[in-house]
Amino acid sequence: MSLVTRCPACGTAFRAQRAQLSARGGSVRCGKCGTVFDGIAALVEEGADQLALEPSPQLGLFDPSRRQPAGAELDSDLPLPPFMEDEPGPRRRWLWVALCLLGFGALAWQAVQRFHTELAAAVPESRALLAAACGAAGCELALPRRPDLMSIDSSDLQADPRREGLIVLNAVLRNRARFAQDYPTLELTLTDEGDRPVLRRVLAPRDYLEAARASALLTEGVAPGGETALRVFLDAGRTRATGYRLYLFYPS
């Protein structure tokens, strides 16, 4: 059953369905003058006098000759939803692009500061670029430390016949990584007949590298796939040992 409502502005009467009136709480727009009004409050009764009826204002959406400007079905007092707002102009778009690039640059800068060593190990070709970026960021690009890719290929421990209590450690370190690595720290443990430790010494890189070249060697590290031979003299005192163990590690 259709109802009749009258526009309070121009007096035009329209037929409307109940569903049309309840869709927006009774708010409708006049299809003739464009006035938004309460269609329920403006309902009229069809009397004996023939009313000049106009089509329902919603039909204006499908009739090009009666169609209102874009957004005419919306109540002008209500704000537009976000998806119908005007698109940002070129200057505003460029501002967003600049902010996004700035944020990306800040994240990249933090990544260089935090993970520069890992990045250099993962992509050796980027080491020179990372070193330059690290210098600008005020950080130091340390050499990678992967003990699983560093090994002791051979070692030998002998007593020095020229001096009692003096022992000589000979060893060869090999870097099995495809990138240069930092020199590891060595732990030498002397053991007795029961393989019990009787003396333990921790050797930092400067303890076993040639003193005159230590600084340069530490800067360069052990070359990719390279090896380093070392010879260290240690004073064992009166310790009586029959065996030894040699390990490498990187201190945390």
User: What mean pLDDT comes out for the span 169-196?
Assistant: 94
For the chain, which domains are there? Answer: 2-82 (no CATH), 90-137 (no CATH), 147-249 (2.60.40)
Closest listed residue to residue 171, CA positions, set 182, 162, 163, 183:
183
User: How confident is the model at residue 243, as a pLDDT?
Assistant: 93
User: What mean pLDDT comes out for the span 190-200?
Assistant: 93
Give the 3-state secondary structure of residue 129: helix
Backbone angles phi, psi at 167, to 5 degrees: -120, 155
Q: What is the pTM of this model?
A: 0.49
The secondary structure of 65-122 as a DSSP string is TTPPSTTTTS-TTSPPPGGGSPPP-HHHHHHHHHHHHHHHHHHHHHHHHHHHHHHHHH
Asked if residue 205 has pLDDT above 50, the reply is yes
Q: How many helical (H) and strand (E) elements, i.e. helices and strands, does the chain have?
A: 5, 12
Q: Chain-centre distance of CA 16, in angstroms?
A: 57
Dist CA 196 CA 249 (whole Å): 21
User: How confident is the model at residue 84, as a pLDDT?
Assistant: 40
